[in-house]
């Protein structure tokens, strides 16, 4: 007689979350920050550039930009066209270049040249949304946050930690409820690395990679 779904080890979200958290910690005990940077400002610029662009591509472009301007004072001395020329391969270059130039001006005008340490102030900057602010708050300042990128959005649904078709905001709220706050910062990086290396958009159907097979069971033959 088949085992009822309710009796399986991973029938509940908390059970799945507990296993996923443990397994990801084993696979990625000390996950590195994917975007190359040296301080909060260079991280902010790099995260802004990563919108609709890979971290790998951003890391190829930022050395040239940061060689000319790795702080807001030097950045505002460049023209928007100068910045654009360095970041063009990242996509959406004109908009991103304008945002980088203007946010650098605002940092000098309102924040003494420093990157602010609150979500409200960060999200008030041009080109900075909640996800970018969350990355900066967690990776630059150690504030507990759970930035949701495309990998996390996809895997949270595959692992049934949130509803299918859930918004980014809903995914973030659901994950924060399932995992202890002390794990948010390393965990969001672990999920990103696992999504890139094992549970890719096309390489896994929700039953292929190790974690999917474990928490969802094998797919139909």
The model's pLDDT over 145-198, given as tens digits with 9 standing for 90+, comes to 999 999 999 999 999 999 999 999 999 999 999 999 999 999 999 999 999 999
Number of structural domains, the chain? 2
Q: The domain spanning residue 188 has which CATH number?
A: 1.10.1670.10
> Phi, psi at residue 107, to the nearest 5°?
-60, -40
In residues, how long is the chain? 221
Q: Which of 131, 176, 177, 220 is catalytic?
A: 131
- Clarify whether 39 is annotated catalytic: no
**Claim to verify: residue 50 and residue 117 sit in the same structural domain:** yes
- Tell which of 139, 165, 185 closes a domain: 139
What are the pLDDT digits (tens) for 121-152?
A: 999 999 999 999 999 999 999 999 999 999 99
How far, in Å, are 59, 66, 97, 98 from residue 81 at the CA level? 20, 15, 8, 9
Q: Which of 55, 84, 149, 174 is catalytic?
A: 149
Scanning the structure block, which residue is given the tokens 């980088």? 100
Residue 152 domain boundaries: 5-32+146-216
- Clarify whether 96 is annotated catalytic: no
Q: Could you give the CA distance from residue 209 to residue 214 in angstroms, rounded to a whole number?
A: 9
What are the pLDDT digits (tens) for 2-18?
A: 445 455 789 999 999 99
Q: Could you give the CA distance from residue 150 to residue 138 in angstroms, rounded to a whole number?
A: 18
In angstroms and rounded to an integer, the radius of gyration of the C-alpha atoms of the chain is 20
| In-domain check, residue 221 | no
């Amino acid at each position: 007689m088949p085992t009822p779904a309710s009796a399986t080890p991973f029938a509940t979200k908390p059970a799945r979350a507990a296993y996923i958290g443990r397994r990801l910690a084993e696979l990625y005990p000390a996950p590195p920050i994917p975007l190359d940077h040296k301080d909060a400002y260079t991280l902010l610029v790099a995260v802004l550039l990563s919108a609709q662009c890979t971290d790998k591509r951003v890391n190829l472009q930022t050395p040239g930009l940061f060689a000319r301007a790795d702080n807001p004072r030097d950045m505002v001395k460049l023209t928007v066209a100068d910045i654009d020329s360095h970041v063009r391969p990242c996509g959406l270059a004109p908009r991103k270049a304008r945002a980088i130039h203007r946010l650098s001006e605002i940092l000098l005008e309102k924040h003494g040249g420093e990157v602010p340490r609150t979500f409200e102030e960060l999200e008030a900057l041009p080109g900075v949304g909640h996800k970018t602010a969350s990355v900066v708050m967690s990776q630059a300042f150690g504030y507990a946050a759970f930035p949701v990128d495309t990998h996390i959005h996809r895997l949270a649904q595959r692992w049934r930690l949130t509803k299918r078709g859930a918004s980014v905001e809903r995914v973030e709220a659901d994950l924060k409820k399932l995992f202890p706050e002390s794990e948010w910062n390393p965990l969001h990086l672990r999920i990103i690395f696992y999504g890139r290396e094992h549970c890719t958009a096309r390489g896994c159907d929700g039953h292929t990679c190790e974690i999917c097979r474990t928490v969802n069971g094998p797919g139909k033959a």
